[in-house]
Structure 1
Amino acid sequence: MWIRVTVRGNSMSPTLHDGQKLLARKLFRDPHRHEVIVFRVPDPELPHRVKRVAAVAGDPVPEWLAPALPGVARVPDGFVAVAGDNPRSQDSRQLGLIDCGDVVGAVRGR
């Protein structure tokens, strides 16, 4: 199953741009490291986010994320850490670890 999404904002710039239309394929597995994913967040204004997977279950918590997750050494099962390609974007430091159950799909081709 394919899902059509529109990028909102510049968090994935320079890879993806505001207003760009994407196709995301529903995943029947946990996301892989470095994949660009679409996931749900509890925000009625922007209910979906597009980010790159920075770490998957079992990986050490990335150094840049560790201060936001005190006491968490590894990404737990069923979760991923995400980051935008733009260094000023919102990422897992603000959003927390993303539950794989909230992942809508993985972006295919840009």
Structure 2
Amino acid sequence: MITLPWTRVVVRGNSMAPTLRDGQQLLARRLRRDPRRREVIVFRVPDPELPHRIKRVAAVAGDPIPDWLTPTLPDVAQVPAGFVAVVGDNPRSQDSRQLGLVDCRDIVGAVRGA
């Protein structure tokens, strides 16, 4: 079976507005490396209605937990290996405060130019 380096995703909702618009089609490149800070990623979540989310990486493994996330994770000083903290560009979007830290194994790919 051939795995393509790109996957097509459609933006659903306004969590990444104004950077990305609802209904916008994107290409996400599968990552063969660790995600980077400020990179826009697509990742899987256990929600049959909306199985993917698109968010910006706020912190990577080894980074201190961002101040805005410490009330949610009071006993965690830094992002553990294999995880990232995410945030939407829209201040009202869901982020790691609601979704938790994202396991890098659930990352589908990164969106270029976003």
| Identity over aligned pairs, percent | 79
- Runs of 4+ with deviation above 2 angstroms: none
Give the match for residue 71 of structure 2.
Answer: 67
CA displacement 1:29-86 (0-9 Å, x = unmatched) = 1110000000000000000000000000000000000000110010000000000000
Corresponding residue number in structure 2 for 1:82: 86
CA RMSD in angstroms comes to 0.7
Task: Note the 1:5-16 alignment, pairs <5 A.
Answer: 5-16=9-20
Deviation at 1:109, TM superposition (A): 3.2
TM-score, structure 2 normalization: 0.95
Gaps spanning 5+ residues in structure 1: where? none
Count of aligned positions? 110
Deviation string, structure 1 residues 7-32 (Cα, Å, up to 9, x no partner): 00000000001000000000011110
Deviation of 1:108 after TM superposition, in Å, equals: 1.6
